[in-house]
Amino acid sequence: MNNGDFFNKPIFFLLAKECHRRYYLNGDFGKSIQIKSLGKVDTLPLAQFLGYTPLEWRKKKQLSIPEFEQALTESILSWTIVDFITFLIKEELILKADVNKQNEDRYMQFLNKLETIDPLFCRQLTDKQLQSWFKKEEMSWDSFKIVADALKNLPKKYTRMPVFAFQQTGNPHAFDEGTETGNLFLQVLTTYSTADDSTEIAETEHKHQLLGEFYLLRDDIKNYVAASGLLGYKEDRNEMWYQACLTQCSWNIPLKEILQTTTIQPFVGNKVLVVENSGVYSILIDRFPDVPIICSSGQFTYAVWCMLRKLVASKTQLYYVGDMDPEGLIMAQKLLKLFPDHAQTIGMSLVNFTEACTEVKLNERRYKKLRAIEDVQLKEIAQYMQQTQTIAMQEGFIELLIEEITEVFVS
C-alpha cells in the first residue's frame, strides 16, 4: 500500500464516520467500537489491514481503537487517526461545543446587526422567529430595513397594499404574500395587533383582518361577494344598495363597499340565505327574488366574512347550504362555530343526502377531513358518507332545498 486508495472501501468510510461522530460529541474516539455497529458491509479489508486471518476476524466482536491507531502509524502512510478521518470524511474534526459556540457568536452578531437597523425586531419578534430568520440560507438585510421604514409610515386611512408598497419602496409588489419582505411585514404586524385572537377564523380572513387593523387592503375590488336583497348603511341608507333591492338586482359587492358600511341587513325580514354554489345561487335568486341571498363561492373570501359579520351584528339569522361532501361539511361547520347563535344549515340533512347521493371514491386526504366534523347533524352525514363512499351535490337535492326555503323564508 503506497497511498490512501486502499481505504476507499465502505468499511473504512463507516469507521471514519463513527470516529468523527464520537469526537464531535465527546472530544475523543473511545476505546473500542462494536464491529457489527459499523453496518452490513464487507469488513475483511479492515481485517486485512490489521493483519487478522478471516477465521481470527470472525471471532472478534470489537475493534480496538488503540490497535487501529497503531496499525495506521506503522503503515507505509504513517498516518494518525486524525489523518485517516479527514482523508475519508473530507472535514476537519470539530467539537459540538465549538460549533455551538460559533453559532451563538454568529447569532449574537445577527441580533446586533438587527439592533443597528431597528431595535423593534429584537423587541417584537420571538426568539423562535428570530432564529428562523437567522438560519435562512439566503436572507437580505434590505428586507429588515424596508419593513422597519414601512412600519414607521403605516397609513391613517384605508390604503391598498400595492399603493402603500409603491409609496414605501417604489415596488407595488414589495409586500406581496410569499416574499421575504411580505412575510416579515405580516409577522411584525401580528405582534402589534390588538385584535382578539381567541376567535376561530379562517387563515384568509385572519390575514385580511390583520392588514385591515392597520388600514391596509390587499384587494378591495376583485375581493367581492355576490348578493341580492341586502341594505347597506353608512350614516344613512346607501342608495346604491337600496336601488339594487328595489329592482331585485343581484350584484357583486366589492370589499371596499362592505368596509364603508356601518350596518348591513336584509331588505326584507331578518334572515339571509347563504349559498355555496354560484350556479345554485343563480337558480335561487330567480326562484326567490324577494329572499335575501349571498353566494359564498366555495371557500369564503374576506369579503364574504366581512359581510357575514356585519349581518350577524345586525342580528340577522344565517341559513347556509353547501355541497354535502367533505369540503362542504367543513365550511358549514366553520360557519356554525363562528356564529353559533346566528347560523344554521338548510337543506343539509341526512334525508336529503340519501335522496341525492352519488358514489365517489374518497381519497385519504378528503377522507381525513370527515374526521374533523363534530357538529351532531353534520357528523351524522359524514359518518354515512364514510360508510357508503358517497357525496351529495346541491344540484342533486335542489328541489328538496327549494321546499325548505319556501317553508323558512316564504310561508
* Residues 187, 229 share a domain: no
Task: Verify that 249 and 334 share a domain, yes or no.
Answer: yes
Are residue 263 and residue 373 in the same domain, yes or no? Answer: yes
Residues near 375 by beta carbon (within 8 Å), at least 6 away in sequence: 332, 333, 336
Nearest by Cα to 213 from 143, 137, 302, 112? 302
- Decide: pTM greater than 0.75: no
Q: How confident is the model at residue 1 (pLDDT cuts 50, 70, 90)?
A: very low
| Same domain membership, residue 122 and residue 13 | no
- Is 155 in the same domain as 295? no
Q: Are residues 317 and 394 in the same domain?
A: yes
Is the distance from CB of 255 to CB of 220 less than 8 angstroms?
A: yes
Write down the pLDDT at residue 66.
93
Let me know: does 190 contact 182? Beta carbons within 8 Å.
no
Please tell me whether residues 153 and 23 are part of one structural domain.
no
Domain boundary among 58, 76, 94: 94
- State the DSSP string of 116-168: HH-THHHHHS-HHHHHHHHT-SS--HHHHHHHHHHHTT--SS-EEHHHHHHHH
C-beta separation of 1 from 75 below 8 A: yes
Cell for 184? 416579515
Question: What letter does residue 237 receive in the DSSP assignment?
Answer: B
So what's the pLDDT on residue 76? 87
DSSP letter assigned to residue 395: G
Cα–Cα distance measured from residue 187 to residue 128, given in angstroms and rounded to the nearest whole number: 12
Same domain, 105 and 83: no
Listed residues 187, 217, 247: the one ending a domain: 217
- Domain count for the chain, please give it: 3
Specify whether 153 is located in the same domain as 190. Answer: yes
| DSSP helix/strand/coil, 201 | coil
53: domain range?
4-94
Percent of the chain topping pLDDT 70: 95
Centroid of chain to Cα 361: 27
All three cell numbers of 295, joined, read 353566494
- Quick one: which of 70, 54, 72, 61 has its CA closest to 33? 61
pLDDT digits (tens, 9 = 90+) for 50-106: 999 989 998 889 999 999 999 999 988 899 999 999 999 988 898 988 888 999 999
Using the 3D structure, point to which of 71, 94, 117 is the last residue of a domain: 94
Whether residues 114 and 251 fall in one domain: no
pLDDT in tens, 166-219: 999 999 999 988 899 999 999 999 998 876 554 455 566 677 778 877 888 876
CB atoms within 10 A of CB 402: 15
Assess whether 103 and 25 both reside in one domain.
no
Distance (Å, rounded) from C-alpha 244 to C-alpha 371?
42
CATH of the domain at 255: 3.40.1360.10
pLDDT at 305: 86
Residue 294 and residue 191 share a domain: no
